[in-house]
Structure 1
Amino acid sequence: MKRKLSILVAMFSFIAISYAQLPNGSYAKNFNLKDINGDTHTLYEHTNAGKPVALDFFAVWCGPCWSYHNTHAFKTAYETWGPPGTDEMMLFAIEGNNATIANINGNGGNTKGDWVTGTPYPILPTSSPNSSQVVNDYKISSFPTVYMVCPNRKVYNIGQANANTIKSRADQLCPEGQQYDNNVQLFNFEAPKGLLCGTLAPRFLMQNLGENVLTSAKIIISIDGNVVQEKNWTGNLAKYDAETVLVTGINIENLSFGEHQLSVKFEEANGSAEALPENEATIQFKIAEHPTDVTVRINADTYYSEVSWSIKENGTTFIAAEEEKLPTKNYTKNICLDRKCYTFTIRDSYGDGMTYDGTGMAYLIVAGDTLVEIKGNEYTYSKSVSFCIDENTSIEKSYFFENNISIYPNPATDNINIEFIAPESGKMQIDVYDLTGKVVHKEMVDANDKEIHKVTIDNKIKPGIYFVKLQLGNYMSTQKLIIQ
């Protein structure tokens, strides 16, 4: 039987960029970039040599970046502990906003000055022939961002540190430590996230920290302390190399709704006991009480990697589902939601929507019906849609009902009048929601088929943007209301 739903939809746009910064201790991805002189630099060449690497992500137009540059912290650290000095660490500046080499040299109107003169360490642009992939990999959400990458490829945010602090942070964060023949580390527990139903497929990054080349590993997956799967991995990983591992086929249909804990640990490495068996990663996940199938479908433009989305449970900080960066231009993801209110947000990190090679589209599909269509030219940085799911009614609109509703005055400062022609007899539920999905006013009205009804709400609601949902049997409509 097809699940029937009632949907409250509200759309609003805003300019904001909200991306999580790379967590401390994350795995640092490699880069291979040319500096402004055309020389190529590879991150792992330095970390494989046992050297910590400091990275200053800046933008030529950024005032705080210019101030930090002129403290000469990187210059002093480079000349003291870099190649001209003791040669025990490396430092790079990375212009992360696609500035031209001319801009970096201080030419043009969109730069704070000459970043090159007096700078002994390499400056790596993200403009051609390089790319901004390094900015995405390191999740740069603001400038300046200063990272320390250790030889074991763990990365840490050290802030706008002076030269001595750069060195002391390298010593603190990147100790040599005890070495083991067989040792495996787990990073970036990517799944599951949000609400789940049916099956789950955890994904994580497995890194070889042992002196020996890693060719096999035994992985134990548990839920709430009970082993649900043993996975035998085989491959070839040199020291500090890493590989993404996907575990499939974990059935969760018989789990009770609510929160559960998923754990992953390595029991063996190269046929021997794992050197540090306490190395275990855990993550919380939720089972939906009343699962509803939802599909997010996005047909992006050429720059699909700039696009991300999330679905957040209203009134909470809980992210029901998200994708931090689209992996492909034509993207589809099936997720599971409960009978609650949510906000779907699509974002573009560059701020031009999805418009480069035609207008992209984003769709939210609930129980097989297209609920939302967002055009790529309808927003710049982001657009959000609020919606609620319950079990009672179909999302199919009655245009008779929709076209015979009037809310006035709108904007309102005093009483609010709602007039409608009822499509059938019954109880009309009127709910007023704020942008978080919270109900701020509700009442029930007896309605008669094809008659005109008028409801007056004594306005005691604080100023803001609201949505009035009217529902009668299988008929539903949502109208925007502004209170001043």
Structure 2
Amino acid sequence: MKKFNILKSLILVIAIFSFTSKSNAQLSDGTIAPNWTLKDINGTNYTLYNYLAQGKRVVIDFSAVWCPPCWAYHTSGALEGVYNSYGPTGTINQTMEVFFVEADENSLACLQGTGCSTQGDWTAGTPYPMFLTCSPPSGNGPTVNSNYNIAYFPTVYTVCPDHTIYESGQLTTSQHYSFANSNCAPLSTTVNDVKAFSCSTPNIIYCVGTLSPSFTIQNYGTANLTSCNVTVKLDGTTCQTTSWTGNLAMYGTAVVAINQITGISNGAHTLTIELDTPNGVTDENISNNSINKSFNVMTTPTSIPISQNFTSSTFPPSGYDAVDVTTDGYNWARSSTAGHTAAGST
């Protein structure tokens, strides 16, 4: 799903929905990959986080046996090349792992080339583990599909040692290796290291001058994280200080809620979260201790109805903002070659 906002003092929200073969959207790049333990078609159990703890970069191919593009990519040998060159017994190094998930709940017979409109025998010549998502005992059930928001096939993810996930797509062997090197940090060696991972609140637009921030911290150190200090700043001025306590293993995350901030004036603002003193000692890596989130407050309403034909060459028009709510690079743009009553449309 993709949503954009165009606003004029009071927000005018227009949602555009894009549909695929499934209704959910993929996991966003840089978010945390859910852990799983799955049994492969040979009866061996594999746990994702165990491989990440070894510093492996893990490529996961979510495909369906009836899917022609999935078959074309599977038989291209790209992932076989990743496994043979960089897998557990890789000829170049052993820094990666590859897994295949039949993500449309089809049976082993279908995977082996019989029924389900299958494209062929997917197991033939495949050196890496393959998992079924049909019902137990023959499969693992569909939970991993929903946890990974599989919206289309094939979906190919790369998961980094710090548990972050990226949709790498149908790359060649060398491209997969380069992608992992570019996006995945090596295993952290710092002992006490708290990271400001993400900030889910504030959102982009508010119609009131109050804010209840929440953000996610991550333990980037090898020692369990049990505490840290938190400083909250609004437009560079400290408005709150607090502390967090808990118990996070390496790369574990926790959501932290902050007391409500009130009296925020109209206009653009920046919320800053700063973390320090993990486990009561000096943070060994201060480069990941802060995160900023920009937002706007617009408390003055505009009378409705609002009329705007977008015929002016100035876009957005005066008093409007075009906001990419999901921050994925897709936003409103004006076309000068089409329009209802005159040239100009969005």
Of residues 52, 56, 73 in structure 1, which corresponds to 2:61?
A: 56
| Aligned residue type for 2:283 | E
- Match in the other structure for 1:25: 30
Q: How far apart, in 1, do the equivalents of 2:325 and 2:88 lie?
A: 45
Q: How far apart, in 2, do the equivalents of 1:173 and 1:258 lie?
A: 35
Could you report, residue by residue, the CA deviation over 1:224-263 in whole angstroms, capped at 9, with x for unpaired residues?
Answer: 112222221111122222222222x2223x1122332212
Question: CA 1:137 to 1:230, structure 2 compared with 1: closer, same or farther past 3 Å?
Answer: farther
* Aligned: 1:132 with 2:132: no
Look up the SS of the partner of 1:262 in the other structure.
strand
Deviation at 1:319, TM superposition (A): 4.5
Q: How far apart, in 2, do the equivalents of 1:14 and 1:159 lie?
A: 19
| Aligned residue type for 1:250 | Q
TM-score by length of 1: 0.54
Of 26-35 and 189-198, deviating more is 189-198
* Aligned: 1:193 with 2:198: no
Deviation at 1:178, TM superposition (A): 6.5
Q: How far apart, in 2, do the equivalents of 1:461 and 1:65 lie?
A: 45
| CA radius of gyration, larger in | 1
CA contact (8 A) 1:32 1:42 kept: yes
Q: How far apart, in 2, do the equivalents of 1:123 and 1:77 lie?
A: 15
Question: CA 1:84 to 1:259, structure 2 compared with 1: closer, same or farther past 3 Å?
Answer: same
* Aligned ranges 1:69-468 → 2 under 5 Å: 69-85=74-90, 87-129=94-136, 130-176=140-186, 179-196=189-206, 197=208, 199-247=210-258, 249-252=259-262, 254-279=263-288, 280-290=290-300, 316-317=322-323, 319=325
Of 283-292 and 265-274, deviating more is 283-292
List 4+ stretches of structure 1 deviating above 4 A: 12-20, 314-320
| Aligned residue type for 1:266 | L
Q: How far apart, in 2, do the equivalents of 1:186 and 1:271 lie?
A: 17
Deviation at 1:218, TM superposition (A): 0.7
| Aligned residue type for 1:233 | W
Q: How far apart, in 1, do the equivalents of 2:83 and 2:301 lie?
A: 56
- Match in the other structure for 1:479: none
Of residues 69, 72, 96 in structure 2, which corresponds to 1:67?
A: 72
Identity of aligned residues (%): 37
CA contact (8 A) 2:198 2:215 kept: yes
| Aligned residue type for 2:225 | L
Q: How far apart, in 2, do the equivalents of 1:94 and 1:233 lie?
A: 38
Structure 1: gaps spanning 5 or more residues:
1-7, 293-313, 321-439, 441-459, 463-484
Deviation at 1:67, TM superposition (A): 0.7
CA contact (8 A) 2:162 2:187 kept: no
CA contact (8 A) 1:219 1:268 kept: no
Question: CA 1:140 to 1:231, structure 2 compared with 1: closer, same or farther past 3 Å?
Answer: farther
Deviation at 1:315, TM superposition (A): 9.2
Deviation at 1:125, TM superposition (A): 2.4
Deviation at 1:180, TM superposition (A): 1.8
Question: How many residues get paired?
Answer: 293
Of 169-178 and 104-113, deviating more is 169-178
CA contact (8 A) 1:266 1:274 kept: no
Q: How far apart, in 1, do the equivalents of 2:76 and 2:43 lie?
A: 26
Q: How far apart, in 2, do the equivalents of 1:132 and 1:317 lie?
A: 35
Q: Which has the higher strand share?
A: 1
Deviation at 1:61, TM superposition (A): 2.4
Look up the SS of the partner of 1:140 in the other structure.
coil
CA contact (8 A) 1:228 1:250 kept: no
